[in-house]
Chain A
Amino acid sequence: MKQSRWICLVFGLTVFYISLLSVDAVRWMALAQMSSLAHISDEENCDKLDGLVKRQRRLCRRNVELMDSVRVGALMAIEECQAQFQKRRWNCSTENNKKLFGNVILKQGTREAAFVHSISAAGVAHAVTRACSSGQLTKCGCDRTVRGRSQEGFEWSGCSDNIAYGNAFSQVFVDARESGKKKRLKPRSIMNRHNNAAGRRAIRDNMRLDCKCHGVSGSCELRTCWRAIPIFSDVGAILKEKFDGATEVKHVPSRHELVPLNSQFKPHTDQDLVYMEASPDFCEADRKTGSLGTHGRLCNKNSKAIDGCDLMCCGRGFVTRQVKVVERCKCKFHWCCSVRCKTCERIVDEHRCL
């Protein structure tokens, strides 16, 4: 199902498509479609990268070593989005390669757009944090808690955890799209910034706390705790929950802020996702909304939920075919790498929407 991988193979080296007209907020995620072999290692590459705005190019030149993490972050975000929305009509497909997620994200401030923004910001923060903690990046900073220059500060009170840096970089890079002088105050920019921040909060607020006792004789007289970054699929699940409970908002021009459309609703918090336009039903392909439609999608015959054939196919019905599935089975595993399996074949029913 991992369409992005497939895309990687097919489009591998032909993705340097420069779109001059459609400048949308998550265009930088096109980085995800670069072949993983082509590491972004040279400052000059920054100008060739697809989908970056001027400010992002400048950031790229200044932080070239981080760009690979941005790419990994974008890829993670797309994969996680597709995993979370696998069973919905809108399945986070990036088949429309040039525009990534299609018009949904491009123009309209829908729930789906909110989710894509939040998970992309989270993806970058996550990937940068992880790269920092593996020591592969030299630029990661000990943040402001440290007194003095890095070595003296480190000697006095150590280094803060890497999530602070990961989040800060994600904010600078991902929000760069929304931070132009005129753009800042646009309703859509406010919404995007809010959702980006909510994505980063989903990581920050769900850090796992680990502690170790190391006092006299290993007693808990001294206990030191640190925060470990959550696995990205957990972040995706949290954001999916936020997606389900997202708040529809309207823009208040006088204060440049977003308030709930329905004034009786509780105001949204920093952790919540917000959207401004209702989503289309995604039943039919529509160039205007960017909907791909559900024709030919797999559905579940026995489910009453959105992945069930009734809802998924929008009442158009479905066809059932028998297909042969070749699987790996009876594998001998170790904790990594070499796996010796047999191949098994299975015949299964497959239902697809008309």
Chain B
Amino acid sequence: MAGVVLETLSNRKLLILSVSLVLILAVFFLIGGLVAPAPNSVIPSTTVKCVDADNIWQKGEMKPFLPRGKGKCDSIDHFSDPRVAREGIDANEIVFSQWMPLPKDGKQLDMSRWFQNMVSVIELDLTYNSQNKYPEDRDAHMVLETRVFYRNKEDDVKDWKLLAASTEHRTLQCSIENDNRQDGKRYQCDLLPFFELGTVFYDFYLINIRLPIDKRTDINIIGQLDDLAVVVIFQNGGFTKVWFSIKTVLFPAVVAVLLWFWQRVLTEGRATNLTERTLFSLGIILSIMNCPIEWLTLVVSMPFMTLLNDIRDGAFYAMLFSFWLIFVGEHMMDQVERNQLKAYWKQLTVVILASAACFIFDMCERGVQLTNPFFSIWSSEVGAIAALGFIIVAGISACLYFVFLCYLVFRVFRNISSKRTSLMQMSSVRRKYYSGLIYRFKFLMLVTLLCAALTVISFIIGQVSEGQWKWGDEDLSLEYTSAFLTGTYGMWNVYVISLLCLYAPSHKKYAADTVDETDTNSREEEVQLTQMASESSNIASFISKQAAD
């Protein structure tokens, strides 16, 4: 087996390369932290209580109820309004309505296609009423009749079109502390998932919700409701722009390096080995993930984009995990001929199982949301169990994977220590071969661990900074969450690019008299090795024999 670029590279070149990669990495983090805004924005809003006195909704007519502007619905400010008692307004006649986005600075804002996706949740303001308590002994079963309409700026003000309509079941969970059990205090309620849209293609969205009651059933018996808030979360346009730019730059870069790598492999004129093939596949999957087809969402409505992105991300991580497995296996140095996927079927099954579980779960949630944006797998009992099952399967598989991987790494290190002791007795070609393997392996281990650590650290910083609220905007603040997202994305790209560069077959062939800096390194190492060898050669030879067996 020929050497790779990494081994033949001089220390100086390697240093320059590493420094420049680290710089590129820093740029990715800084772009996220300084240029991009926070990845997501929130519009929390209290809905307007429209009165459907003619029971239009119950008759099945798809009429939009507008909270403001021309054609505003007949509304009440609060349920204690004397009008409610006077006109005998019934819970069935109330339609909660909100028009997104809200007006600001005297203008009606509009949604932008740059927002990419929109998630919405419902917050209920339940007030403690000693005569009308929330049923704490059981989970409250809610039924929501929901409709979402859309309209574009240039459309006629009354030309709202139906985007989705559904009758959804949700389970509400609320609690109240014992000292707060007095009239007027508020329950602590969990947020209810409402809808998820994979695209924000239109300018305005109109949300209508009705909470029907029926004397014969126990639906919507939730105590006293004061307000219903709809919270809309969407990706910031600024973040999308930065994200698209990163993808657009990275895509051709990775493709170019990938082509160079494969051309290098082919010019070797021998059969490709498994490590090379795996690395190539990793590059292909990364390119698929990088491919900036998101630009199309600005022109065409592509609600499946979120799902597609999930799949692309998932495929990349599955491939990365498989690559580590195969790479470690191929550096086992135990004279077992692997070089074929078959040899790894056990470990790869675990990866495939984990990603399949995630895939099925995602298809069940986001796949179904393509047809019904209000769908949530967690809202039905069977669905929740199934979803939990998939997550548990994925979790167990991931754990098994890491156990496998750690075990393999442990074995490699054991073999390395045994090989080191016997290196001196080997012929110079064999020695070069083994020290090359060891060097390659250790380098990858180091870089991988660094990347993984950086991912975890930036993830934690991002999560913590999201939980704490920054007040005031005078000081220059870093957007940690954005930095985490762009940083890790850039990092794994840089990681794959550097692997493709450094683990490509080298043109330089081993020659006994080549003197370069790596050689002096290995000589230093040899001195250390000889010192060690005298002490532990007996044990080492025993281990290497065992390993050979």
**A residues adjacent to B (C-beta < 8 A):** 83, 130, 132-145, 149-151, 154-162, 204, 207, 209-212, 214, 216-218, 220-228, 231, 233-234, 328, 331, 333-339
Contact = CB atoms under 8 A, between A and B. Distances in A.
Among all A-B residue pairs, the 5 with the closest Cβ atoms? A158-B41, A157-B37, A333-B132, A156-B238, A226-B42
A216 B391 CA distance: 13
Contacts of B40: 158, 214, 222, 224
28 contacts: A83-B184, A133-B229, A135-B103, A140-B103, A142-B104, A143-B473, A149-B105, A150-B104, A150-B109, A155-B114, A157-B38, A157-B237, A159-B43, A161-B44, A212-B233, A214-B40, A217-B365, A226-B231, A228-B44, A228-B123, A234-B186, A333-B224, A335-B211, A335-B222, A335-B224, A336-B91, A336-B94, A339-B132
B89 interface: yes
B91 A209 contact: no
Contact of A217 (B114, B220, B361): B361
Contacts of B9: none
B236 A158 contact: yes
Given A157-B237, A335-B91, A336-B224, 9 more contacts: A135-B45, A155-B112, A156-B37, A210-B191, A214-B233, A222-B40, A223-B467, A333-B131, A335-B213
B90 interface: yes
Contact of B41 (A140, A157, A227): A157
A130 B45 CA distance: 8
A224 B466 contact: yes
A217 B211 contact: no
A134 B109 contact: no
A203 to B, nearest CB: 12
A337 B104 contact: no
B39 A335 contact: no
Contact of B119 (A133, A136, A214, A334): A214
Contacts of A210: 123, 191, 231
Contact of A226 (B37, B44, B211): B44
B245 to A, nearest CB: 14
B257 interface: no
B90 A337 contact: yes
B141 to A, nearest CB: 13
Nearest to A224: B40
B269 interface: no
B94 A130 contact: no
Contacts of B236: 156-158
B99 interface: yes
Contacts of A142: 104-105
Nearest to B477: A145
A151 B109 contact: yes
B398 to A, nearest CB: 13
B91 A338 contact: yes
Nearest to B75: A136
B14 interface: no
B409 interface: no
Interface string B387-424: 00000000000000000000000000000000000000
B100 to A, nearest CB: 9
Interface string B202-245: 00000000010100000011111100010101101111010000
Interface of B: 37-48, 67-68, 79, 84, 88-91, 94, 98-99, 101-110, 112, 114, 119, 121, 123, 125, 129, 131-132, 184-186, 191, 196, 211, 213, 220-225, 229, 231, 233-234, 236-239, 241, 310, 313-314, 358, 361-362, 365-366, 459, 463, 466-467, 469, 471, 473, 481, 485
Contact of A150 (B107, B185, B229, B238): B107
A204 B471 CA distance: 9
Contact of A133 (B44, B99, B471, B473): B44
Contacts of B471: 204
A141 B94 CA distance: 29
Contacts of A139: 105-106
B473 A225 contact: no
B308 to A, nearest CB: 12
Given A212-B233, A223-B466, A338-B91, A134 B44 contact: no
Contacts of B107: 138, 150-151
Contact of B110 (A151, A211, A337): A151
A225 B98 contact: no
A225 B45 CA distance: 14
B365 A133 contact: no
Contacts of B241: 156
A142 B471 CA distance: 14
Contacts of B102: 132-133, 135, 140, 159
Nearest to A134: B46
A91 B414 CA distance: 80
Contacts of B108: 138
Contacts of B223: 333, 335
A136 B48 contact: yes
A135 B233 CA distance: 16
B79 A336 contact: yes
Given A204-B471, A211-B466, A154 B46 contact: no
A211 B485 CA distance: 18
Contacts of B225: 335-336
A140 B104 contact: yes
Given A130-B46, A338-B88, A136 B238 contact: no
Given A139-B105, A338-B91, A233 B38 contact: no
A337 B90 CA distance: 6
Given A135-B48, A142-B105, A334 B310 contact: no
A310 B133 CA distance: 35
A171 to B, nearest CB: 14
Contact of B79 (A138, A225, A233, A337): A337
A218 B186 CA distance: 28
Contacts of B238: 155-157
A315 B374 CA distance: 64
Nearest to B97: A135
Given A157-B238, A331-B132, A337-B79, A135 B68 contact: yes
A334 B91 contact: yes
A207 B44 CA distance: 13
Contacts of A135: 45, 48, 67-68, 98-99, 102-103
Contacts of B362: 216-217
A134 B80 CA distance: 18
A227 B213 CA distance: 31
B469 A231 contact: no
Contacts of A159: 41, 43, 101-102, 104, 109
A138 B103 contact: yes
A350 B481 CA distance: 61
Contacts of A217: 310, 358, 361-362, 365-366
- Name, among A140, A142, A156, A204, the residue most crowded by chain B CB atoms within 10 Å (CB to CB): A156
Nearest to A338: B90
Contacts of B365: 217-218
B171 to A, nearest CB: 16
A210 B233 CA distance: 12
B362 to A, nearest CB: 5
A211 B196 CA distance: 16
Contacts of B358: 217
Contact of B463 (A138, A144, A151, A223): A223
B97 to A, nearest CB: 10
B211 to A, nearest CB: 6
A209 B473 contact: no
Contacts of A160: 473
Contacts of B44: 133, 161-162, 226-228
A160 to B, nearest CB: 8
Contacts of B106: 138-139
B157 to A, nearest CB: 15
Contact of B105 (A83, A141, A220, A234): A141
A333 B68 CA distance: 30
